[in-house]
C-alpha cells in the first residue's frame, strides 16, 4: 500500500537522517521530505537519495527559489514541496523532471499552480482552510488532482479531512521534532499509519 503521507523531517541532521528515515519507512510511510531550513540540508537529502532511493520517495520541502531547485535536480530527488506558489519554482521543478507540490490556499492560487504544471496541491496551513472550505473548493477543482493537507493535521482528524476530499497529508512535528530519537519516531509513525489506514 502506497500511503499518501509525506513525513516532514524539519530540523533533522545528516548524522541522524538515515536512521530516522529507515524507522519511518519501516512503519509503512515511504515519502520523506527534508525542509530547506534544516541543518546542512543538502547533505541530508543526498544521503537519503544515495542510500534509500530504492525504498522511499525522497523530497525537499520549503523550497522557495530556483537556485535550490537546481541543486536538488543535481542530487536527483523525486519531489519538491513549497510553502507558497511561485511559478518560477514550479516551472523549474517540472523542467527538472521532479514532481511539484506548491503551497496554496485560494482558488486563484490553485488554478494558477495547476496551469504552471503542478502535480498536486499542498494546502498550507490546512487549519486556515478548514474542511468546509475544502469541500467547496473540491467542487470546482479538476478531479483526481492530489490534494495534500499540511499544518495541524494528524491522527485526530485524518478521517474528517478525507471525508472533505483530501487525498494525502504532510505530517511534520506529529512524526518528527528536532532531536527526536528513532524510538519516539517509530511510536508516532505507527499511530499515524494506523489512523490513516482506518480513515480510508
Assigned C-alpha cell, 76? 536527483
Residue with cell 530504492: 54
DSSP 14: H
Cα separation of 151 and 137, whole Å? 18
Q: Is the dihedral of CA 113, 119, 123, 125 positive or negative?
A: negative
Cα separation of 197 and 200, whole Å? 5
**Which active-site residues does the annotation give?**
33, 122
Cα separation of 141 and 57, whole Å? 26
Amino acid at each position: 500500500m502506497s500511503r499518501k503521507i509525506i513525513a516532514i523531517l524539519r530540523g533533522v541532521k545528516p548524522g541522524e537522517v538515515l536512521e530516522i528515515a529507515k524507522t519511518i519507512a519501516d512503519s509503512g510511510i515511504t515519502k520523506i521530505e527534508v525542509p530547506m531550513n534544516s541543518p546542512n540540508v543538502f547533505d541530508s537529502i543526498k544521503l537519503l537519495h544515495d542510500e534509500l532511493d530504492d525504498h522511499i520517495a525522497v523530497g525537499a520541502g520549503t523550497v522557495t527559489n530556483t537556485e535550490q531547485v537546481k541543486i536538488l535536480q543535481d542530487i536527483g530527488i523525486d519531489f519538491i514541496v513549497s510553502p507558497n506558489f511561485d511559478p518560477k519554482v514550479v516551472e523549474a521543478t517540472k523542467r527538472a523532471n521532479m514532481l511539484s507540490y506548491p503551497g496554496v490556499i485560494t482558488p486563484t492560487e490553485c488554478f494558477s499552480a495547476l496551469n504552471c504544471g503542478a502535480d498536486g496541491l499542498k494546502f498550507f496551513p490546512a487549519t486556515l482552510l478548514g474542511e468546509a472550505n475544502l469541500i467547496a473548493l473540491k467542487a470546482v477543482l479538476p478531479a483526481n488532482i492530489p490534494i495534500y493537507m499540511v499544518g495541524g493535521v494528524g491522527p485526530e482528524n485524518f478521517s474528517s479531512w478525507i471525508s472533505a476530499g483530501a487525498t494525502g497529508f504532510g505530517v511534520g512535528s506529529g512524526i518528527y521534532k528536532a532531536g527526536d530519537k528513532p524510538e519516539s519516531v517509530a511510536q508516532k509513525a505507527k499511530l499515524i499509519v494506523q489512523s490513516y489506514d482506518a480513515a480510508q
